[in-house]
Chain A
Amino acid sequence: MTQKTTGNSRRAFLKGAALTGVSLAAGKASAATPDPLITEVQPWASGLGDGVDETPYGLPIQFESDVVRRNVEWLTADTISSINFTPIHALDGTITPQGCAFERHHSGAIELKKEDYRLMINGMVDRPLIFTYADLERFPRENHVYFCECAANTGMEWAGAQLNGAQFTHGMIHNMEYTGVPLRTLLEEAGYDTAGKWVYVEGADASSNGRSIPMEKALDDVLVAFKANGEALRKEHGYPVRLVVPGWEGNMWVKWIRRIEVSDAPVESREETSKYTDTLEDGTSRKWTWEMDAKSVVTSPSPQSPIMHGKGPLVITGLAWSGRGAITRVDVSKDGGKTWETARLAKPGEKMALTRFYLDTDWDGEEMMLQSRAMDDTGYVQPTKSQLREVRGLNSIYHNNCIQTWLVRSSGEAENVEVS
């Protein structure tokens, strides 16, 4: 894929600023000379566009080619057990387009067709069962919108400001409308033993990504999902079937799920001992840190989405979410946390789903230190990085839900910084 784009990246900013200035000036109400885009007949207003047979399944228009997943090579040993990032700096609303929704694999994105798909339920059940994909579509379905956030989202930022862009600091996340069968329904079909306190779930891929989930959660809101945003799951998101674990760390959203085992004890698998455990300052580590705490980030302006229009009306926007419930409020600061204004939520927050916020403001062209601070319906207020560090030290790796600061210069460029 070509990365040569006309997108408004930070690096393209200075080069593009002059040109953009011209086109924006032409759009102003009192132009000195008539705008040829208006006074001259443009080709699209005279000739023909594409026929309806041109694109059976479309991709975004070429001018949006910078709105893509990005990889950070130095983060992992190879690209197979690795991560990429959702371009949240360029998106709006809350639903993540599947085609640019982040990926995290441990042994690559496997190709598993529906005909080859099998789901086993075994362990402490009356009837160990095998389901085909077609079987799953015959159970009563539900639809829910939930965020999936990697436990490691913002993890590179524990020690300081590292990566320059919301995509890189906060883009291990996506938010989709899932269609699927409650895990509870499948467990009931197999006749689970109420003495079974855990389920162990694993994928069909080589990594297996096995995780233990307490039965209480399994019976509550976990979905065995086969559609996302209206269509089949993408290959890289677990086609044909994945687990959806609302509010909980993305690692537990087992993709290509092939087996669910009811048991009386957790497995303590690699993904819940070696990984996805959070080391504290004294060297002990938390395990089973499942919930993703309330968090937010300003997506624009941000390092990859600088202010191109000069002073005046400015839309400050971003995302907020909580794994413990619904977002009730987001505050925005322009001065690094000295004073705060309450932003407008595009819609009331929904449980364990992304919430879009806006602060419509008038920018005086002065430097800003932009922050956002989420609150959820448990009353929890998103902490600063120093508050988190006080409790956890610097080596937790996972669950960094700190307040992010963007330094927005009077040029409109923005940078990832930490402030006192």
Chain B
Amino acid sequence: SPIAAETFGLGRAALPEEIAAWDKDVRPDGTGLPVGSGDVLTGEEVFADQCAVCHGDFAEGVGNWPKLAGGAGTLADDDPLKTVGSYWPYLSTTWDYVNRSMPFGNAQTLEPDEVYAIVAYILYSNDLVDDEFVLSNETFEDVVLPNHDGFIVDDRIETEHSKWIGEPCMENCKEDVKVTMRAMVLDVTPDEGGDDAT
């Protein structure tokens, strides 16, 4: 039940059209998805037109741009590859983010059916569906991403704070101190300027 509080009478009522224009977020259970659908092959075409210049023809990423596919089973590796297929827990996020914020530099230009198609193609690129797959607001809930259960809620209070509390050592805290790594060996810090010519 709503709380009773004194109000200032500031602002005005938001109209349904205004809320519809801005409230587009989609939750993991599909809340917020518009009616629509798109298949893998359509997605491949839209992706080629709208996305591949940065994300690659197969969603594998170009240069330093994000890879959207690949990396399955790498999360515990030294150098994990985190993609929609290997890392993202919910398909809703892919739909929501593509719909609202992609393509980079031309966001909010995709129709819902195009977003469904692109997301279907990203699933296909991650070997999660076959090339016949049609993603729609109705088939959406059938898709469970591989890393769905890969996340835990912040546990630092138990796993870290409980250990690192109390009076710290002030004297004779270690026997010996050696330099083990040096930033100047890597030499990846930008130059401060003025003497770069050398």
Q: A64 contacts the other chain (Cβ, under 8 Å)?
A: no
**Nearest-Cβ distance from residue B196 to partner chain A, whole angstroms:** 8
Q: Which residues of B contact A70 (CB under 8 A)?
A: 190
When C-beta atoms are compared, the residue in chain A nearest to B151 turns out to be: A287
Q: B92 contacts the other chain (Cβ, under 8 Å)?
A: yes
A208-B100, A268-B93, A378-B161 known; A287+B154 contact, CB < 8 A: yes
Query: Contact check: which of A193, A283, A379 meets B2 at CB < 8 Å?
Result: A193
Query: Contact check: which of A194, A339, A407, A417 meets B1 at CB < 8 Å?
Result: A194
Q: Is the CB of B182 within 8 A of A417?
A: yes
Interface stretch of the complex, out of B40-48, B76-84, B112-120, B121-129: B76-84
The CA-CA distance from A303 to B192 in the complex, in Å, is 11
A122-B14, A268-B90 known; A418+B181 contact, CB < 8 A: yes
The CA-CA distance from A165 to B27 in the complex, in Å, is 41
Q: Which residues of A contact B35 (CB under 8 A)?
A: none
A81-B104, A290-B154 known; A120+B8 contact, CB < 8 A: no
Q: Is the CB of B75 within 8 A of A5?
A: no
Query: Contact check: which of B22, B28, B181, B182 meets A259 at CB < 8 Å?
Result: B22
Interface centre among B10, B107, B166, B178 (most CB of A within 10 A): B10
Q: Is the CB of B10 within 8 A of A285?
A: no
Q: Is the CB of A274 within 8 A of B88?
A: yes
Q: Which residues of B contact A149 (CB under 8 A)?
A: none
**Nearest-Cβ distance from residue B29 to partner chain A, whole angstroms:** 8
Chain A interface, number of residues (Cβ within 8 angstroms) = 110
Main SS of the interface on chain B?
Answer: loop
Query: Contact check: which of A126, A189, A417 meets B10 at CB < 8 Å?
Result: A189
Query: Contact check: which of A2, A202, A303, A337 meets B174 at CB < 8 Å?
Result: A337
When C-beta atoms are compared, the residue in chain A nearest to B192 turns out to be: A9
The CA-CA distance from A58 to B190 in the complex, in Å, is 28
Q: A284 contacts the other chain (Cβ, under 8 Å)?
A: yes
Query: Contact check: which of B8, B14, B171 meets A128 at CB < 8 Å?
Result: B14
Q: B64 contacts the other chain (Cβ, under 8 Å)?
A: yes
Q: A237 contacts the other chain (Cβ, under 8 Å)?
A: no
Q: Is the CB of B151 within 8 A of A331?
A: no
A259-B22, A289-B156, A419-B180 known; A274+B82 contact, CB < 8 A: yes
Q: Which residues of B contact A120 (CB under 8 A)?
A: 14, 18-19, 22-23
Q: Which residues of B contact A192 (CB under 8 A)?
A: 2-3
Q: A286 contacts the other chain (Cβ, under 8 Å)?
A: yes
**Nearest-Cβ distance from residue B40 to partner chain A, whole angstroms:** 22
Main SS of the interface on chain A?
Answer: loop
Q: Is the CB of B93 within 8 A of A269?
A: yes
Query: Contact check: which of A12, A74, A267 meets B27 at CB < 8 Å?
Result: A267
Interface residues on B, range: 35 or more
Q: Is the CB of B75 within 8 A of A286?
A: no
The CA-CA distance from A265 to B170 in the complex, in Å, is 46
A70-B190, A194-B2, A279-B75 known; A339+B150 contact, CB < 8 A: no
Q: Is the CB of A285 within 8 A of B194?
A: no
Q: Which residues of A contact B100 (CB under 8 A)?
A: 208, 210
Interface centre among B2, B26, B179, B189 (most CB of A within 10 A): B189
Q: A98 contacts the other chain (Cβ, under 8 Å)?
A: no
When C-beta atoms are compared, the residue in chain B nearest to A419 turns out to be: B177
When C-beta atoms are compared, the residue in chain A nearest to B96 turns out to be: A269
Interface stretch of the complex, out of A18-26, A46-54, A155-163, A171-179: A155-163
The CA-CA distance from A282 to B152 in the complex, in Å, is 12
The CA-CA distance from A273 to B84 in the complex, in Å, is 10
Q: Which residues of A contact B92 (CB under 8 A)?
A: 268
0/1 per residue, A370-387, Cβ < 8 Å to B?
000101001111110001
24 pairs across A/B with beta carbons < 8 Å? Answer: A3-B194, A106-B101, A107-B104, A120-B19, A129-B14, A161-B181, A189-B7, A191-B7, A259-B22, A273-B88, A274-B93, A283-B76, A287-B151, A293-B160, A303-B189, A335-B177, A337-B177, A338-B175, A378-B165, A383-B160, A383-B164, A417-B182, A419-B177, A419-B180
Apart from A77-B64, A165-B189, what are 20 other A-B pairs with CB-CB below 8 Å? Answer: A4-B193, A4-B194, A74-B188, A120-B14, A120-B18, A128-B14, A129-B14, A130-B12, A130-B13, A161-B182, A161-B183, A162-B186, A191-B5, A207-B107, A210-B25, A265-B28, A290-B154, A331-B170, A339-B171, A418-B180
Interface, chain B (partner A; CB < 8 A): 1-3, 5-8, 10-14, 18-19, 22-23, 25-29, 54, 63-66, 75-76, 78, 80, 82, 84, 87-90, 92-93, 96-97, 100-101, 104-105, 107-108, 150-156, 159-161, 163-166, 168-184, 186, 188-195
What are the nearest 7 A-B pairs in CB distance?
A: A3-B193, A283-B76, A336-B177, A283-B75, A9-B192, A416-B183, A77-B64
